[in-house]
């Protein structure tokens, strides 16, 4: 019975870590990364226009 409880706790901790990582990616890192990518594209487009 002890091992079953130990495995259950390990599974819960693992699932919790994955849920936190998933939510962090969806709610924090993802939008921030897309914002930075958009700024980088605008900057590159601006540099290309200046060269021509």
Convert the pLDDT of each residue in 2-44 to its tens digit: 999 999 999 999 999 999 999 998 888 888 888 999 999 988 8
- Radius of gyration of the CA atoms of the chain, in A: 22
Longest distance between any two alpha carbons in the chain, whole Å: 73
pTM of the model: 0.62
Would you place residue 51 in the very low, low, confident or very high pLDDT band (cuts 50, 70, 90)?
A: low
Q: What are phi and psi of 4, to 5 degrees?
A: -65, -45
**Would you say residue 47 has pLDDT above 80?**
no
**Which 8-state DSSP code applies to residue 52?**
-
């Amino acid at each position: 019975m002890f091992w079953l409880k130990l495995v259950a706790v390990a599974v819960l901790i693992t699932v919790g870590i994955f849920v936190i990582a998933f939510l962090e990616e969806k709610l924090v890192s993802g939008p921030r990364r897309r914002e930075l990518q958009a700024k980088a594209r605008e900057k590159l487009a601006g540099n290309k226009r200046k060269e021509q």
